[in-house]
Each structure stands twice: as C-alpha cells, then as structure tokens.
Structure 1
Amino acid sequence: MPLLTILSCKILQDEIVHILENDNSVDEILVVGNGQEEDFILKLKKADLEFCLLSPAKLRSDTEKYRNDPEKYTVMIYIVELALHEFPKILKTEIYKLIDELSTCSNGILMFYGLCGNVFDKIESDYAHLEGSCPVRILRDNVRTVDDCVGATLGGCQEYLTTLKKFSEHGTFLFTPMFAHAWREIMRVDPEKPEKTIKMLKKVNEVTGYKRVAKIQTGLTYTENFDEKVDEFAEIFDFEVLEIEGGQSLFEKCYSDIKEELLGKSS
C-alpha cells in the first residue's frame, strides 16, 4: 500500500485535517516534526486522530516500514513555514529541495500549494521523471493549477477571477480562518514594535486602495475565533467586513485523484 506525502503551506493545515478526519481508509498518519507542526498537531488531537511524529533527519529510515507494509495506506504531512512566501525564489528552491528528499521516502507527493506567483508553474513537468516511482501533483481545477490557497478555497481559477472582479471597486483582503489567525505573521508585523509596522501597513493600504476584508466561509472550524480575528483586523485598519462562500471540493478532489492513482498502482 502506498505512502502519500502532503507537502503543505502552513495556511492550509485545516484542509488537511478535514481530509484526514473524513477518510476512514487512512491507516497511519505521519507528521514531520520540523518546527512548523505544533498547531497542526493540536488540531489532529482535537479531531481524535492518532499520528506518529517523525524526525526530519531520519525520514528515509523511519518511513521504510510504512512504505513496505502491504496492508496499510499511510499519509505523511510536511508543513512548510509561512515566512518563505515573502521570497518566491527562495520558496521555490526550498520546496524543490524538499521534493527531492521526500520523493525518496514516498510513493506520491501532493503539494498543497498553488502557483504562488508562478514559481510552481512547471512543478509537475519538472518532476515528470518521477512519474513511475513518486508522481508529484499540485492543487488544480479542471483546467489548470490554482493561483494560490485562496483560489483553491474558492473552488478554482474561474471562481477566483469572478470574486476578484466582484470586489474590483475597492481593494479587498480575502481571509480564510488560518489567514485571519496568522495575518500578523504573514504581514511581518514586528511583535516587539507592532505600532510601527501597522502604521506602515495603513499607509500602504491607503495608496493601494484597500478598504475591505472578506471572510471566506470554508466550512471548517478547526481554527478558532475566526470572526474575532477578522473583526480585530478590520478595526485596526478601519475596514468594512464582508462575507463570501468557499469550500473544500477542490482539495478533496485533488487528494482523491492522487490517492486513487497510487492505490491503482499498488493493486
């Protein structure tokens, strides 16, 4: 039975918990303890999902028994830090390094990423040589790879474009629960001197015309205090709060597709 690795942006950890909680065929859940997994592990525990924590230094040896178990289907999760998003070229370099490493201990890799500024536009073709041993897949709709995590949550590229056009009159931040939880980290607010950073962000918002924040209802409740976090953000920047619908269908389909592909190879 295969070992599928989900290589994920930290923002999409709720979507992974949802998939694992709703897939009874998963026999083993492995989490790589690379320093980015704390929140994710707490959510697994709240969902009553058992898991095994692995050291990143010993992945190949520690995963061998799972890869060679003919009776068990295993999913391994590797959460990547948010800070890399500020530097697209570095993000690409680090993700490619991780795929090179993880492909030696996986039967398939599903990237919980979108294009992220087009740095992953050729990821599947760049790893076409692994098709026979460890296929690499990325989040995509029926036509192409999604732009980013928000586009995936909205259901795909066309839905994302429609939403952006709808809000084109004024700049609008689109917040999922995890984005709301981590907005200070994403926007690099200095915890020692938050006032200085927020003052700068206010000026940037004025120049760029951002005046609203929209809550994307994902259907998930693993991240707490979504409304409160959005309201806090809106109050700080004097933004209007809107609400739009998102969902899990794209994540579920991408996961189901590679799972079926891997199980078909192992049967």
Structure 2
Amino acid sequence: MPVLSIIACEMLEDELAYVLSEDHDLNQLIVVENRQSFRFVRKLKSRNCQPRLFPLDKVPIFLKEANNSVYNSVYSSVSVNILKFLLKFPFFKKIPHNSRGKSKEKNKEKPIVVVNTLKLGLHADCELLRSEIYQNIRKMATFSDGILIFYGNCGHSLRNTAVDFKDLPCSLYFLKDENGEIVDDCISVALGGNDNYAEVMQSGKGIGMIYLTPMWASSWKKMRMESNNTSDFNDSFLKKHYRKVVKINNKISKRDEFDKNVLNYSQTFDMSITEMEGSMEIASKSYLNAKNDVCKKVVLN
C-alpha cells in the first residue's frame, strides 16, 4: 500500500487543507498529532475531510496493521496452507485480476497520506528550521514511499535538501512552479510561482510591500512576540521601508476574519491595502505529482 508523507509548514496549512479535501481517492489520511495539528484538523473537517490522528511514533504501528488488514482481506478466501503451497509455483505468485480479491486490490493501490505540520516559530532560525525538517525526514522515511516537503526554499535554508538526502530509501518531492523551480517561500506558493511573485514585486515600482496570506495575517502577532524584534516585525523599520500591504485571498479562508486581520496589520504599521487573488495551483500540482509518482512506483515494484 503506497504511503506518501508530507512535512508541512504551518503557514501553508490552508493550501494543504484545500488539496487534501479535494482528493477523494485516498485510502486513509493520517495527521500527526502535535500542537500545530488541531487548527489544521478543524479546517479539514470543515471541508468534510475526516483524518485520523496519531502521535508520530504510533504511525508505523497503524500502517503495519493497515497493511496486514489488506493482505488478510485479499486472501481470506484461501487457506494459509493452500496459499503457501500455491505460491511455490510462478503462475500463482500473483492473484489474477479477475479473482475475488479484485476490489480489495484496487483499494490497496490507493495511498495513505501522512501529514506532519511543523511550527511557525522555526522560521526565526534557518539552521533550526533545516535541522527540524531533516530530523523529520529521517523519521518518516522509515515508513514512507515518498515524502513531499511542503515548504519553499525559506531563505535558501532548504536548497540542498535533495543532495543531502540523495541516498534516502524513499523519494523526496518539493513544491515547484511551472518552470520546475522550487518556490522561494509561502508567498510564492500563494501567488502561483516565482515568476508571478517577481512580477507582483516589480509592479510596486519601488514601493515597499508586505504580502499577507490569511495564515500570515492571523499569525503575525504571535510571530512578532517570538521574533526578538527582528526587522520583520520592527515598527520603525517597517514604517520606514514599507508603504503597502498586499492582501492575498485564497479559496478557503474566512473572509471577515481575514479582512479584520489585514486591517489591523495595516493600521499598526501605517500601510495602505491592495488586494489580489491567490492560487492553489502550485500546491495542487505538486501534491498530485508526488502522490501519482509514489503510487506508480509501488505498483511497478
């Protein structure tokens, strides 16, 4: 049974909730239980997506039981002794497609997706961010056929990930734009790719602009408290260098709450507001590419 794991930035939980809730062809959806998972799970449930929650160390146990369940259901009509005997012959090593287990075999090919969301505060330290992601890659690789890194390059902190894990026993996948480039950050994801991001920045004609997605708008106060007054949240720095907030809408945010949060930010730092529509294309295509590739590889094996 294919297993696709996703290590995700909490800042991208809207995009991830959207693509997972749109996928009606999963065997199981598992969310790793941690402090970040509860809001994410609420968003999934609000879109009629019902995940199962497990601590990370319990996920391999569940997956083993799930695989055993599929195996037993497929072969339940054949006694163990007869099956062992028949499997000695090449002809019987694979159950024919017209066997009684056909529907179960189809279900077996549907993937299990395991999502592990990591906390926002990791962005304050690129080394810490990389270390935490790498640690989770190693842990999740033990039970995964592929891992989708649901992050951008994040200040180039993850630019060497593919090279650093070239010998990993499972495949790594990344959020990529139409040019095949890993996206710069979560804003690039929301705007549909690095080229679109650059185009929007150039349209400002030198005016400093801050980009707010619904998650950014709802999280900036918390991040400000944890930032030790870095330039990202320093009042005097922001007021001096930035004049405009770019409000990036998405398909699943609560509009009234988003409006309120953006207005609060703009008033705090004396900025005007401009608005544009975001995109789920990067998230959707990257997820489907990873999922389809993992399923294909498992079937071929």
Give the structure-1-normalised TM-score.
0.90
State the Cα deviation string for residues 119-147 of structure 1 (Å, max 9, x = none).
111112222212xx411111111231110
| Residue 87 of structure 2: aligned partner | none
What does residue range 10-89 of structure 1 map to in structure 2 within 5 Å? 10-66=10-66, 69=70, 71=108, 72-89=110-127
1:8 counterpart residue number? 8
Percent of matched pairs sharing the same residue: 30
Long gaps (5+) in structure 2: 71-104
* Aligned CA distance change for structure 1 residues 73 and 92 (closer, same or farther; 3 Å): same
Distance across 1 between alignment mates of 2:194 and 2:126: 20
Match runs of 1:29-178 below 5 Å: 29-66=29-66, 69=70, 71=108, 72-130=110-168, 133-141=169-177, 142-178=179-215
CA distance in 2, matches of 1:35, 1:13: 13
* SS of corresponding position for 1:92: helix
Q: Which amino acid aligns with 1:143?
A: G
Instruction: Find the aligned partners of 1:242 and 1:100 in 2 and give their Cα distance.
Output: 42
**SS in structure 2 of the partner of residue 182 of structure 1:** helix
Asked if residue 216 in structure 1 is aligned to residue 254 in structure 2, the reply is no
For residue 60 of structure 1, report the CA deviation from its aligned partner.
2.5
Match of residue 202, structure 1, among 213, 220, 235: 235
Which deviates further from its counterpart, 144-153 or 218-227? 218-227
Q: Which has the bigger relative contact order, CA under 8 A and spacing at least 6?
A: 2
Structure 1: runs of 5 or more not aligned = 191-195
What's 1:193 paired with?
A: none
Runs of 4+ deviating beyond 6 Å: none
Counterpart selection for 1:249 from 271, 274, 281: 281
Matched letter for residue 11 of structure 2: I
* Alpha-carbon distance between aligned partners in 2 of 1:22 and 1:175, rounded to the nearest angstrom: 24
Question: In the TM superposition, what is the alpha-carbon distance from 1:206 to its structure 2 partner?
Answer: 3.0
1: distance between equivalents of 2:214 and 2:208? Answer: 19
Deviation at 1:30, TM superposition (A): 0.3
Amino acid at match of 1:105: F
Task: Give deviations 1:124-180, integer Å, cap 9, x for gaps.
Answer: 2222212xx411111111231110010111111111111111124221110111111
- Say if 1:124 and 1:138, in contact at 8 Å, map to a contact too: no
Which residue matches 2:267?
A: 235
Cα distance in 2, alignment partners of residues 254 and 222 from structure 1: 25
| CA-to-aligned-CA distance 1:216-248 (integer Å, 9 cap, x gap) | 122333686111110111122221001122201
What is the DSSP-based 3-state SS (H/G/I as helix, E as strand, rest coil) of the residue aligned with 1:128?
coil
Residue 119 of structure 1 aligns with an amino acid whose one-letter code is: S
* TM-score normalised to structure 2 length: 0.80
**Helix, strand or coil for the counterpart of 2:167?**
helix
In the TM superposition, what whole-angstrom CA distance separates every residue of 1:48-93 from its partner, at most 9, and x where no partner exists?
Answer: 2111110123333233234664614211110100001000011101
